[in-house]
Structure 1
Amino acid sequence: MKRYHQYQPLLVSDFEMKEWRHPEHNHNHYELIYIKKGKGTHVINQITQPYKAGGLYLLGPEDKHYFEIQIPTHFIYLKFTDPYRYKHLSGDMRNWQHLEYLIKSRETHISGFSLSREDQQIAARLFEVVAALKADVSYNEQLIWMQLLSIATILQRNMPELMAIPQRSKDMQALFCYLHKNIYHPENLRAPIIAAQFNMTADYIGPYFKRNTGTTLRDYIQDYRKTLITQRLASKQYSLKEIAAEFGLTDESHVKKIISST
């Protein structure tokens, strides 16, 4: 299978096609794909789904895909390699966390994102701005990244598993998404708090999670937190003090204890 390599940290592509010219492929970067106009089929990881104007997809490095075009299609691609590179451009840490959540949860939204009518219009405008900045990506790098963070915020607030509903189902996808969303807030990861979100008892949530995943709820949270912290340290963009503050940890020694755990 074809694999495309991108060496620039950030790229924008804005093009129209009558016929898709690429074979099934994956890549070494993330792709945020917007369908400005057109119609056809998008095949992602051998799952076929229709696409139309306004379609929006987030693909990771190992996702394989291709398009089958029925009506000439205008694509806008926003491609990035290492999102940690832009930590200094992310402003409010919550903006970066929205994108990190999307990256982790994209497999549950492989068919694309369903946006409210208002957010569809906002997303369209943001991608128009992205396309307008493509002539000089290096010069416009910060502006492009800001649009990406804005898009990530819009996508996240339209995720059904994050919307407030009175009776949330005991659904593992929703439970995973809750954990990923709240990994920065340890006060929300206590068993009684999680259980209350899913209409379970504190005594039931642990066995329920282990029965469905093969691992304990505590171990999953610890392993996921450790993964995120390790990625931050590897990027050399974060100090131990910053990481401790972001994840609600006591101090730097707590961070060291987490990364040294087995």
Structure 2
Amino acid sequence: MEVRNLYSAYELEWFETQDYTAKARKNTFFEMVFVMEGTGVQIINEHQLPYAPNKLFLIFPEDLHSFEVQSLSQFFFIRFNNDYLKTQNSQNIRELEYIFNSHNHLPGCIFKTVTDKPFIRAAVEALIREKENNSPQKEQIIQQLINTIISYAARNLTLQEKEVFKGKISSVMPIINYLHQHIFEPEKLKVNCIAGAFNLSPKYVGEYFRKHTGESLQQYIMLYKLKLIESRLLLTDMRISEISLEFGFTDQSHLNRIFKRYKGTTPSSYRKKRIT
């Protein structure tokens, strides 16, 4: 099985083929695939998914994927790695983190809003044009277009989850998705607010969550925050004081204490050891 690496911050590729069966492979990077033309089958982790024009697929690192072409097909690939993330602002990173941590989304095209399709196609066509010319601000415009597509992807994943669960708790995943979506909104992370979102009593929602995860709501929230903070430390140049403010800690010393309690080291030491 082929394992592919990416040696630049991002990569754009337009690919056309009429008779092609890709071998199963894994990436060490994140990939979005937009189908410009054609029909066939996309295979992701043994799920066979028909593709057609104007469909958008997400491929995570470590996903096993391939595709089979049935008619003349045109694909546009957007690939990026951690170096690309380091160039993004806080809001873009949040959207990327949401995508990265939403592995429970259903396989297949992510579009849940039909009206989004022409906007994504227009953005992809603009990327193709920018890729081929040397106009001023080329790199800046390319990154803005990529980030626009990422924002649409994040929104459709949110809509996908709402459609799947329809506000009913049949498993713990809807609550986890809610926590991920509102991790930067302290008021919405309070037990009463979470319970209200799912029409449950505060006592029951806590018991339910612990039963299915083995963790309390507050413990899960803290561990998820720390996971995102690790991303900030590795993927951005944000000061630790800025990170502590973003995640709702009283100050930097408060974050230092919590981080050391769970991770056994301070944020600054963690960043230094992982980057050097």
- TM-score of the superposition, structure 2-length normalised? 0.85
Write out per-residue CA displacement over residues 75-134 of structure 1, whole angstroms, 9 at most, x where no aligned residue. Answer: 0001001143113xx3xx333312221121144143221232321111111111122222
Partner Cα separation in structure 2 for residue 186 and residue 250 of structure 1: 13
Bigger shift: residues 141-150 or 21-30:
141-150
* Contact 1:115–1:155 (Cα < 8 Å) also in 2: no
Q: 1:106 to 1:76 in 2, by over 3 A?
A: farther
Q: Does residue 1:235 correspond to 2:232, yes or no? A: no
* Contact 1:13–1:134 (Cα < 8 Å) also in 2: no
Question: What is aligned with 2:139?
Answer: 141
Partner Cα separation in structure 2 for residue 161 and residue 248 of structure 1: 28
Work out which of the two has the higher radius of gyration on C-alpha atoms and give 1 or 2.
2
* Contact 2:112–2:160 (Cα < 8 Å) also in 1: no
Question: What is aligned with 1:99?
Answer: 96
* Contact 1:35–1:76 (Cα < 8 Å) also in 2: yes
- Runs of 4+ off more than 3 Å: 161-164
Quote how far apart the aligned CAs of 1:162 are: 6.4
Secondary structure in structure 1 of the residue aligned to 2:173: helix
Which residue identity does 2:105 align to in structure 1?
A: T
Quote how far apart the aligned CAs of 1:68 are: 1.0
Quote how far apart the aligned CAs of 1:15 are: 1.3
Q: 1:55 to 1:28 in 2, by over 3 A?
A: same
Bigger shift: residues 203-212 or 94-103:
94-103
Secondary structure in structure 2 of the residue aligned to 1:23: coil
Partner Cα separation in structure 2 for residue 122 and residue 6 of structure 1: 27
Quote how far apart the aligned CAs of 1:236 are: 4.8
Partner Cα separation in structure 2 for residue 245 and residue 204 of structure 1: 31
Quote how far apart the aligned CAs of 1:55 are: 1.1
Partner Cα separation in structure 2 for residue 163 and residue 239 of structure 1: 35
Quote how far apart the aligned CAs of 1:163 are: 5.5
Secondary structure in structure 2 of the residue aligned to 1:133: helix
Identity of aligned residues (%): 28
Count of aligned pairs between the two proteins: 255
Partner Cα separation in structure 1 for residue 39 and residue 160 of structure 2: 28
Partner Cα separation in structure 1 for residue 198 and residue 242 of structure 2: 32
Write out per-residue CA displacement over residues 27-79 of structure 1, whole angstroms, 9 at most, x where no aligned residue. Answer: 11100110111111111011111111111112111111000111121100010
Matches within 5 A, 1:87-236: 87=88, 90=89, 93-135=90-132, 140-158=138-156, 159-160=158-159, 168-171=167-170, 172-236=172-236
* Contact 2:15–2:74 (Cα < 8 Å) also in 1: yes
RMSD value, Cα: 2.1
Which residue identity does 2:120 align to in structure 1?
A: A
Q: 1:84 to 1:237 in 2, by over 3 A?
A: farther
Question: What is aligned with 1:3?
Answer: 3
* Contact 2:130–2:142 (Cα < 8 Å) also in 1: yes
* Contact 1:98–1:149 (Cα < 8 Å) also in 2: no
Partner Cα separation in structure 2 for residue 126 and residue 115 of structure 1: 18
- TM-score of the superposition, structure 1-length normalised? 0.89
* Contact 2:49–2:108 (Cα < 8 Å) also in 1: yes
Q: 1:58 to 1:258 in 2, by over 3 A?
A: farther
Write out per-residue CA displacement over residues 161-188 of structure 1, whole angstroms, 9 at most, x where no aligned residue. Answer: 5669xx7211433222111111122221
